[in-house]
Amino acid sequence: MLTEILQLDIFRFMLISTRIGVAMMLIPGIGGNLVSMRIRVLLALAISFLMLPVLGSTIPPMPRTTGGLLLLVFGEVIYGAFMGTVVSFLMSVLSLAGTIIGFQTGLTNAFSFDPIAQQQSQMLTGFLSNVGLLAIFVTDLHHLLFQAVLESYDLFPPGQALPWGDFTETLSHMVTETFRLGLQFGAPLVVSGLVFFTGLGLLSKLVPQLQIFFISQPIQILVGIWMFMVTLPMIITLFLRYFENSLIPYLPPR
C-alpha cells in the first residue's frame, strides 16, 4: 500500500513539474540565460512540490501503457509551452517598441543584452525590456503570472485532447496585438522623427553647402532620448495594464 502511494505521488509530482518547468523555462527573466540553470530547476521543483496537494486531484491515474504515459507527458509539455509562449509574446511588445525607438533616435548601432530576445540588441530595446521586467516584479504582477500558470489546470485539464485550434487562434491574435501596441508605444518617436527629417530635407534644399549629416546626428540623438524619457512612464504604465488584462482571462472566475 505504501509503495502504491509513493509511486502515485511521484507520478503526480513529475507530471505537475513538467508543465510548470516548461512554462518557467520560456518565461522571460526567470527563464533567461542570466539565471542559473540550477536555480531555475530548483524553483520549478519547489513550486511543483508546493502545488502537489492542490493540483494532485486534477491529475488522471497513471496510464497502464508506455504510449499513454508519453502522450500524457507530451500534452503537459504543450500546455506549459503555450503558457510560456503567451508570456513571451506579452513581453515582446517592449522589444518591438524599443526597436522602433532605436531607429528613430539613431542609436541602432549601440547594442546591449536584451533579456527578452536573449541576445545582443539595440541599447534602448534592452533598457526598455529590463525596465518592463523590473516593473512587473515591483508591482507584484509576477504573482498573477504564476497564478495563471497554475490555474491553467482548470482550463486545460491533464489527459484531455489538445485544443490546437484555440492555441493557434490565441497566438495569432497576440501577434497582431503585439505589433499594434509596439507601434503605438513608438508612435511619438515616429511622429517627431518625421517632423525632424522633413525639416532637415527642407534645410538641405535651402542650404546645399551645409553638411546636414554631421549637424543632424547629435540633434537627432538628443531629441530622440528626450522624447523617449518623456514617454517612458506612459509606455510602462500601458504595458503593465496590457500585461495584467492579457493574463486575467486565464484565471477562472471566483
Q: How confident is the model at residue 117 (pLDDT cuts 50, 70, 90)?
A: low
Placement of cell 477562472 in the chain: 252
Is 147 in contact with 249 (CB distance < 8 Å)? no
Q: How confident is the model at residue 254 (pLDDT cuts 50, 70, 90)?
A: low
Which comes out higher in pLDDT, residue 183 or 4? 183
CA 77/CA 81 separation, integer angstroms = 6
Which comes out higher in pLDDT, residue 24 or 239? 239
Is 80 in contact with 19 (CB distance < 8 Å)? yes
What integer is the mean pLDDT of 220-226? 80
193 pLDDT exceeds 70?
A: yes
CA 29/CA 185 separation, integer angstroms = 21
253 pLDDT exceeds 50?
A: yes
**Which CA distances in Å does 116 have to 26, 27, 44, 63, 229?**
10, 9, 20, 38, 21
Q: What is the mean pLDDT of the chain?
A: 79
Q: How confident is the model at residue 1 (pLDDT cuts 50, 70, 90)?
A: very low
CA 171/CA 10 separation, integer angstroms = 33
pLDDT at 125: 78
| Domain definitions of the chain by residue range | 2-250
What integer is the mean pLDDT of 229-249? 88
Sign for the CA dihedral angle at 175, 180, 181, 185 comes to positive
Is 207 in contact with 215 (CB distance < 8 Å)? no
Q: How confident is the model at residue 115 (pLDDT cuts 50, 70, 90)?
A: low
Which comes out higher in pLDDT, residue 241 or 123? 241
Residue 18 half-sphere exposure toward CB, CA atoms < 13 A: 20
Stated pTM of the model: 0.79
155 pLDDT exceeds 70?
A: yes
- Packing angle, helices 141-155 and 212-247, rounded to 10: 50
pLDDT digits over 23-62, tens only?
A: 888 887 776 667 777 888 888 888 888 888 877 777 878 7
Q: How confident is the model at residue 167 (pLDDT cuts 50, 70, 90)?
A: confident
pLDDT digits over 70-93, tens only?
A: 888 888 888 888 888 888 888 888
CA 181/CA 183 separation, integer angstroms = 5
Q: Report CA dihedral (195, 201, 203, 206) to the nearest 10 degrees.
A: -140
122 pLDDT exceeds 80?
A: no
